[in-house]
Protein backbone atom coordinates (compact mmCIF):
# COMPACT_ATOMS: atom_id res chain seq x y z
CA UNK A 1 0.00 0.00 0.00
CA UNK A 2 1.56 3.25 -1.06
CA UNK A 3 0.88 6.02 1.38
CA UNK A 4 0.05 9.25 -0.34
CA UNK A 5 1.85 12.42 0.50
CA UNK A 6 0.01 14.88 2.68
CA UNK A 7 -1.32 17.83 0.71
CA UNK A 8 -3.51 20.88 1.41
CA UNK A 9 -6.61 19.06 0.29
CA UNK A 10 -6.01 15.79 2.10
CA UNK A 11 -8.48 14.98 4.83
CA UNK A 12 -6.41 13.09 7.33
CA UNK A 13 -7.98 10.62 9.73
CA UNK A 14 -6.70 8.08 12.20
CA UNK A 15 -5.87 4.82 10.42
CA UNK A 16 -8.11 1.80 10.98
CA UNK A 17 -7.77 0.36 14.46
CA UNK A 18 -5.91 3.42 15.70
CA UNK A 19 -7.49 5.04 18.73
CA UNK A 20 -6.72 8.38 20.34
CA UNK A 21 -7.82 8.27 23.94
CA UNK A 22 -7.26 10.10 27.18
CA UNK A 23 -5.53 8.00 29.81
CA UNK A 24 -7.24 9.22 32.96
CA UNK A 25 -4.84 7.35 35.24
CA UNK A 26 -1.65 8.88 33.83
CA UNK A 27 -3.43 12.09 32.80
CA UNK A 28 -2.15 12.15 29.25
CA UNK A 29 -3.27 11.29 25.74
CA UNK A 30 -2.25 8.02 24.17
CA UNK A 31 -2.58 6.62 20.68
CA UNK A 32 -3.32 2.90 20.65
CA UNK A 33 -2.67 0.77 17.58
CA UNK A 34 -2.25 -2.95 16.99
CA UNK A 35 0.80 -3.97 19.04
CA UNK A 36 1.95 -0.38 19.24
CA UNK A 37 1.33 2.70 21.21
CA UNK A 38 2.40 6.29 20.94
CA UNK A 39 2.62 9.07 23.49
CA UNK A 40 1.87 12.19 21.46
CA UNK A 41 3.11 15.58 22.63
CA UNK A 42 0.69 18.46 23.08
CA UNK A 43 0.87 19.70 19.51
CA UNK A 44 0.44 16.19 18.12
CA UNK A 45 -2.65 15.73 20.28
CA UNK A 46 -4.14 18.95 18.91
CA UNK A 47 -3.41 17.84 15.37
CA UNK A 48 -4.73 14.31 15.88
CA UNK A 49 -7.97 15.67 17.34
CA UNK A 50 -8.52 17.50 14.06
CA UNK A 51 -7.97 14.37 11.98
CA UNK A 52 -11.63 13.48 11.53
CA UNK A 53 -11.44 12.42 7.90
CA UNK A 54 -13.56 15.40 6.81
CA UNK A 55 -11.53 18.48 7.59
CA UNK A 56 -9.01 19.39 4.87
CA UNK A 57 -5.45 19.94 5.96
CA UNK A 58 -5.54 23.64 5.02
CA UNK A 59 -8.44 24.17 7.42
CA UNK A 60 -6.65 22.25 10.16
CA UNK A 61 -3.62 24.49 9.77
CA UNK A 62 -5.73 27.64 9.86
CA UNK A 63 -7.48 26.45 12.98
CA UNK A 64 -4.26 25.60 14.80
CA UNK A 65 -2.63 28.86 13.73
CA UNK A 66 -5.54 30.70 15.31
CA UNK A 67 -5.40 28.61 18.48
CA UNK A 68 -1.65 29.08 18.83
CA UNK A 69 -1.83 32.72 17.73
CA UNK A 70 0.99 32.01 15.32
CA UNK A 71 1.37 32.72 11.59
CA UNK A 72 0.16 30.03 9.17
CA UNK A 73 3.63 30.06 7.53
CA UNK A 74 5.14 28.95 10.82
CA UNK A 75 2.50 26.42 11.88
CA UNK A 76 1.90 24.91 8.44
CA UNK A 77 5.24 23.21 7.76
CA UNK A 78 5.35 21.74 11.28
CA UNK A 79 1.88 20.26 10.95
CA UNK A 80 2.63 18.84 7.52
CA UNK A 81 5.87 17.29 8.73
CA UNK A 82 4.12 15.81 11.74
CA UNK A 83 1.29 14.34 9.70
CA UNK A 84 3.65 13.02 7.07
CA UNK A 85 5.54 11.21 9.80
CA UNK A 86 2.36 9.82 11.40
CA UNK A 87 1.20 8.63 7.98
CA UNK A 88 4.47 6.89 7.29
CA UNK A 89 4.26 5.16 10.63
CA UNK A 90 0.71 4.04 9.91
CA UNK A 91 -1.10 5.99 12.61
CA UNK A 92 -2.81 8.41 10.23
CA UNK A 93 -4.12 7.96 6.72
CA UNK A 94 -5.32 10.44 4.12
Partner 1 sequence: MNAVPGSPPVEAAAVAIEPPLAMLCELTHRCPLRCSYCSNPVALEGASHELSTAEWQDLLSQAARLGVLQVHFSGGEPTARRDLPVLVRHAVEQGLYTNLITSGVLVDQAMADRLAEAGLEHAQIGFPDITEEGSTLITAFKGGLARKYAAAAALKQAGVALTMNAVITRHNVERLPQMFEVAQQIGARRIEVANVQYYGWGLLNRAALMPSPQQLAWMTGVVTEARARLKGQLAIDYVIPDYYAKRPKACLGGWGRQFLNVTPSGTILPCHAAETLKNLSFDSIRDRSLADIWLHGSAFAAYRGDAWMPKGCRSCEHKETDWGGCRCQALALAGKADAMDPTCEQSPLHASVRAMAEQEAAANINTMTYRTFTDTAR
Among 4, 7, 37, 49, binds partner 1 (CB under 8 A): 37
Q: Is residue 7 within 8 Å of residue 57, measured between CB atoms?
A: yes
**Taking the complex as a whole, how short is the minimal distance between the CB of residue 77 and partner 1, in angstroms?**
23
SS3 58: helix
36/49 with CB nearer partner 1 = 36
Residues at the contact surface with partner 1, assessed by CB under 8 A: 1-3, 16-17, 19, 21, 23, 25-26, 30, 32, 34-39, 88, 90
Amino acid sequence: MARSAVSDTSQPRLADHVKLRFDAIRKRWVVMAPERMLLPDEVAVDVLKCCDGATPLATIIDRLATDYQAPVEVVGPDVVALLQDLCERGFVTT
